[in-house]
Amino acid sequence: MTAERGPVARTLQRGGRSDRFAAVIIFILSALYTRYAVTFQPRFFRSEALGPATFPLMIGGLMLICSTILFIQSLGKVTAGQGTRWAQYVPALVLWLLLLGYSITFDLLGFPVSTGLFLLGALWLLGVRPWWKAVFYALAFTIAAWYVFTTLDVRLPRGEWFRR
């Protein structure tokens, strides 16, 4: 049984502090969105009943109102005793960083190199040991995926650096 799934754990997790934080971030982003929307001017005709800005402004308004309500609601909530344990998010965030690196290098290094590196890193991060097992799985999947997808006519990049 995981601690997270029970209803009690859920109420504990939903602390007021994280809601307040979320509300502030959303409010700022929505304000920027709304500010950007105001600048949209139709180039050709002005008699249009609904310009390019109206609908985004409606959405922006909704977001500003809702995030304010979320902020007010969060004031009444008590944050769980332990507070947020950032350590529990670290593996997911590191995996995300690896994914970011993978996305950036996908075109540059090409599919085989970037995929191999990403898988090796991710498998190691998630605890696949000893190292040769991680290498084996990374290689096996990269080769299999390359074969399957090129057969399916999906053009995977060979890598800008190797083109010359």
Partner 1 sequence: MIDTWQSLLLGFQVALQPENLGLALAGALLGTIVGVLPGIGPIGGIAILLPLTFRLPPASAMIMLTAVYYGTMYGGSTTSILMNVPGEASSVVTSFDGYAMARQGRAGPALAVAAVGSFIAGTLSILALTFFSPLVANWGLTFGPPEYFGLMLFGLSAVSSLAGDSLIKALLSMGFGLMLATVGTDLVTGVPRFTFGIPYLLDGIDFVVVVIGLFAISEVLASVEDTGELRFPVKLERIWLSVRDFAESFWAIIRGSVIGFYIGILPAAGATIASFLSYSVEKQLARDPSTFGRGDIRGVAAPESANNAAAVGNMIPMLTLGIPGSSTTALMMGALLVLNVFPGPTLFKEHPDVVWGLVASMYVSNLVLLILNLPLVGLFVRILYIPERLLLPLILSICVIGTYAVNFSAFDLLTMTALGLVAYAMRKNDFPLGPAILGLVLGDLMEQNLRRALIMSRGSIDIFFTRPVTAVLIVLSVLSLFTPVLLALLRRRRANEGHPRTMA
Residues that bind partner 1 (CB under 8 A): 2, 10, 13-14, 18-19, 22, 26, 30, 33, 36-37, 40-45, 48-52, 55-56, 59, 62-63, 66-67, 69-70, 73, 88-89, 91-92, 95-96, 99-100, 102-104, 106-107, 111, 115, 118-119, 122-123, 126-128, 137, 141, 145, 149, 153-157
Nearest-approach distance from CB 83 to partner 1, in angstroms = 14
Nearest-approach distance from CB 103 to partner 1, in angstroms = 4
Residue 35 makes CB contacts below 8 A (sequence gap 6+) with none
Nearest-approach distance from CB 55 to partner 1, in angstroms = 4
Nearest-approach distance from CB 29 to partner 1, in angstroms = 9
From first CA to last CA, the distance across the chain in angstroms is 54
Distance CA 92, CA 64 (A): 30
Distance CA 15, CA 23 (A): 13
Query: Nearer Cβ to partner 1, position 41 or 81?
Result: 41
Output the CA torsion sign for 30, 33, 38, 43. Answer: negative
Distance CA 143, CA 106 (A): 15
